[in-house]
Amino acid sequence: MAVNGIGALQYRNVYNQTNSRVESNSNQPEKAAVQDKIDFSADSLAQSAALRSLQEKFPKMSFSVGTGLTGRTSRNTGDNANRWAFTLDPKLLEKMNGSPEAEAEFSQKIRDIERATAFADSFSKAMGMKTVYCDNYIDENGQLHHESVLVRKDELNEELRAQARENAEKIIERVREKNKDAADKLEEMLDKAEETGELVLGDEDMRVFGEAANVVDIQQTEEAAESDEEIESESVGKSMGINAAKLARMLAAAKTRSQVQAVMDMIQSDLRECDAGKEQGYDVDEASVSAAESLLEEAKSRMSSAEDREPTPQEEMATALASLM
C-alpha cells in the first residue's frame, strides 16, 4: 500500500541481531514485555468495533490481542511462522474506540507497518529466504516491536542463489537512488544472508524496511505520473488513485492460487481505501478504480485455473520482484 509519510512510524531499536534481548545502549527505552497473548472469545471480538474496523481495513494482516511479544511458540515458528500476524495491545483498541481522531492516527501507523512488512516480505523472498520465526507486537502507542528469523531455502542451487542475489541487488540499487543509508543496510543484510544463510531481524531492521518501502512508493508514483498510469492508493493533496499497472504485473507473475489470492487481497484493500478516501473528501480517480475492479474480476477468474500448490522459489522471487520494481 502506498501512503503518506513513513515517518509516522516510531520504532525502538531493542533487538541486537541475536536471540538474546538486550538494550543497544542505556538511552534506549525499555523493551515491550514478553507476555502470553490474550485470546478473546468470538463474542468478545465481535464487540470490539476498533478491532473489526482494523481487520476490514487491513485484510492481509491477522490480528490477535495481547500485551507483548509472545516469544517462540509452536504458533509462530516453522511452517506456522507468519510475517502478517500481529498482536495488538488492548489499550490501543481502547484508545481507538469512539474516537475518530485516534482511529485515524493509529490506522495510519498500522498502514505504515503494513507497508514495511510488505517490503520485508518481498525483499526476503527476492533473496530466496523463508521466515522460520516471526513475532509482531503493536503497543498502545502504535509502535511495532518485532523479532524474526529467516533462513535460506534448502532448494536453492547455485544458479538460483545467483538469481536471488541479482534480484536483491536490483531492489537495493533502486532504494539507493533516494536513500543511501537504507540501501547500505539492505546490502549488509544481503551479505549476511549470503555468508551465513540466516538473518535475525529486529525493530531497527523493520524501520529500514519502512524507509525502503517509502522510496519504492515515491519512485513508483513518479514513474506512474510520467507514463500517465494511476498510483496505488497514493494520496497527493486531496486526490488518490490505484496503481493498476503494478497490480497487473503482480497478477501476471502469480502462478499459484495462493499468489493470485494475495493479489486479490491487495486489490480489495486498495478499493476499500479508496472508498474510505471518498468519505474523507478525497478526489478519487474513478478510472483507476474501474481498472482495479477489472483486475479483481480477472484474478477471480484465474483462481480456477491457477495451480493449487506451493509456489516454487523462482515463482516466489518473480512475484516479489514484480511488487517492488
pLDDT in tens, 262-293: 899 889 988 988 888 888 788 999 999 999 99
Rounded to whole angstroms, the Cα distance separating 167 from 303 reads: 27
Torsion 306-310-315-319 (CA) sign:
positive
pLDDT tens for 53-94 read 888 888 889 999 999 999 999 999 999 999 999 999 999 998
User: Which pLDDT does position 42 carry in this prediction?
Assistant: 40
Contact at 8 Å (CB) between 33 and 68? yes
Three-state secondary-structure class, residue 253: helix
Rounded to whole angstroms, how far apart are CA atoms 30 and 12?
9
Query: Could you tell me which residues come within 8 angstroms of residue 74 by beta carbon, excluding any fewer than 6 positions away?
Result: 80
Spatial separation of the C-alpha atoms in residues 53 and 41, rounded to whole Å:
17
Separation CA 226–CA 204 (nearest Å): 34
Instruction: Count the Cβ atoms, other than its own, within 10 Å of residue 316.
Output: 24
- Which residue's entry shows cell 495481547? 66
Q: Which pTM does this prediction carry? A: 0.72
What DSSP line would sit under 59-75, residue for residue?
A: TTSEEEEESSB--S-TT
Is 9 within 8 Å of 113 (Cβ atoms)? yes
Distance (Å, rounded) from C-alpha 87 to C-alpha 18? Answer: 22
Residues in the chain predicted with pLDDT less than 70, given as ranges, are 1-47, 155, 218-238, 325
